[in-house]
Amino acid sequence: MTILQNVSLRHLNTFGIEAKAKEYCRITCKDELKQVLSKKSKHPLFVLGGGSNMLLTKDVDALVLHIDIKGIEVIDSDDTHVTVEAKAGENWHHFVMWCIKHNYGGVENLSLIPGNVGTAPIQNIGAYGVELKDIMVSCEAINIKTQEERIFNKDQCKFAYRESIFKNELKNQYIITSVRFRLTKTDHKLNMDYGAIKDELKKNHIDNPQIRDISNAVIAIRQSKLPDPKEIGNSGSFFKNPIIDNEQLEKLQNNFSDIPYYRVSDSKVKVPAGWLIEKAGFKGKRLGDYGVHNKQALVLVNYGNAKGTDILNLALLIQKTVLRIFNIRIETEVNII
Ligand code: EPU
């Protein structure tokens, strides 16, 4: 375990933004993590997972702990279910592919989400009708101050849409080291409610889909509208879909009769931020080396050498414009550093 000085983070964030870490340490096991946490660094700590949910707008004046702990194993198994533990540094999509290969069901709708297993619970990743909370049993984390290990069961994580206790009450207090999932071995409960999945299966004449078919459909859908961070720097959805009340929806419908929405409760609906941003005229807009993706307006992109501050300024302009047109405040999903 070595602490390096002034390390470029460009290849460690999916936006591909150049920024330097004052100090950097790659962590490959729990003991290394405890050891480095117990030594008092003169710099604050910054925990880095897959780097897929952050926008670096400046150098990181901290000791960056790059959580790179690997391993996937079956913990428990019966005739119908299996409990799998994946370490925090496993690439999320690699983990999903491992499950598909073993015919373990539950994660297939979450194929191709960028990032690592250990950061998935922090924002309760979700796509195509499934959220992490639907399959997670527990996660293990280390207290940054005391280095004590703690198991959080699902309820203790206080999951909500792109939310968890780790983003709120316990922000910056724990580092997740592994996550356990309960998956199906037989009678897989396929989630095909999302129209795009049904369409993709139909297109490929798949009448009796297996979990691999769902995964392939999700991969095809994502590839058709979300840019691959290896080719174009991005952080997935830059904004969260805002939740508004019925009264505001009715007012908006007077001017925008085609506004799409999904009901989340009797009194509230979720509106796709991508639609609001597209209507505000930003979809596909390119300003030099950065812009708004042309197939999904929720995604901001770095075409090459954009600065984090450029992208941040564009995000602020989008927020301001959406607020002015729709009177809706859209919040960022990505962490701004
Ligand atoms: N839409 C537009 N224009 C756009 C984008 C979207 O009009 O440029 C409208 C369309 O009406 C479309 C609707 O928004 O039918 C929904 O679009 P989509 O199915 O692409 O989903 P989303 O709400 O834009 C969310 C997640 C994605 C996830 C998809 C699929 C958030 C913030 N984003 O996007 O998550 O993949 O649903 O479940 O909830 C991510 O978090 O990085 C991410 C990509």
Per-residue confidence in pLDDT tens, the chain, 337 aa: 899 999 999 999 999 999 999 999 999 999 999 999 998 778 899 999 999 999 999 999 999 999 999 999 999 999 999 999 999 999 999 999 999 999 999 999 999 999 999 999 999 999 999 999 999 999 999 999 999 999 999 999 999 999 999 999 999 999 999 999 999 999 999 999 888 999 999 999 999 999 999 999 999 999 999 999 999 999 999 999 999 999 999 999 999 999 999 999 999 999 999 999 999 999 999 999 999 999 999 999 999 999 999 999 999 999 999 999 999 999 999 999 9
pLDDT (0 to 100) of residue 40: 74
Q: Is the C-beta atom of 237 inside 6 A of ligand 1? A: yes
* Greatest distance between any 2 Cα atoms in the chain: 61
Q: Which two three-digit tokens encode residue 182? A: 């309960």
Q: Report the distance separating Cα 104 and Cα 75, nearest Å.
A: 13
pLDDT (0 to 100) of residue 24: 96
pLDDT (0 to 100) of residue 194: 87
Q: Report the distance separating Cα 203 and Cα 3, nearest Å.
A: 52
Q: Which two three-digit tokens encode residue 245? A: 């009340």
333 is catalytic: yes
Q: Is the C-beta atom of 234 inside 6 A of ligand 1? A: no
Q: How far is CA 167 from CA 83, 200, 312, 337, in A?
A: 26, 34, 20, 15
Q: At what angle do helices 92-101 and 211-225 cross, to 10 degrees?
A: 150
26 is catalytic: no
Q: Which two three-digit tokens encode residue 303? A: 């075409």
131 is catalytic: no
Q: Residue 162 in contact with residue 334, Cβ under 8 Å?
A: no
Q: How far is CA 72 from CA 46, 65, 91, 104, in A?
A: 25, 21, 11, 13
Predicted model pTM: 0.91
Q: Residue 109 in contact with residue 214, Cβ under 8 Å?
A: yes
Query: In b/e form, how buried is each residue of 265-293, taking b as 16+ CB within 10 angstroms?
Result: eeeebbbbbbbbbbbbebbebeeeebbbb
Query: Which of ligand 1's atoms lies nearest the C-alpha of 237?
Result: 42
pLDDT (0 to 100) of residue 212: 97
Under DSSP, is residue 276 helix (H, G, I), strand (E, B) or coil? helix
Q: Is the C-beta atom of 53 inside 6 A of ligand 1? A: no
pLDDT (0 to 100) of residue 193: 84
Q: Residue 166 in contact with residue 121, Cβ under 8 Å?
A: yes
Q: Is the C-beta atom of 333 inside 6 A of ligand 1? A: yes
Tell how strand 268-270 and strand 262-263 pair up. Answer: antiparallel
Q: Report the distance separating Cα 217 and Cα 109, nearest Å.
A: 9
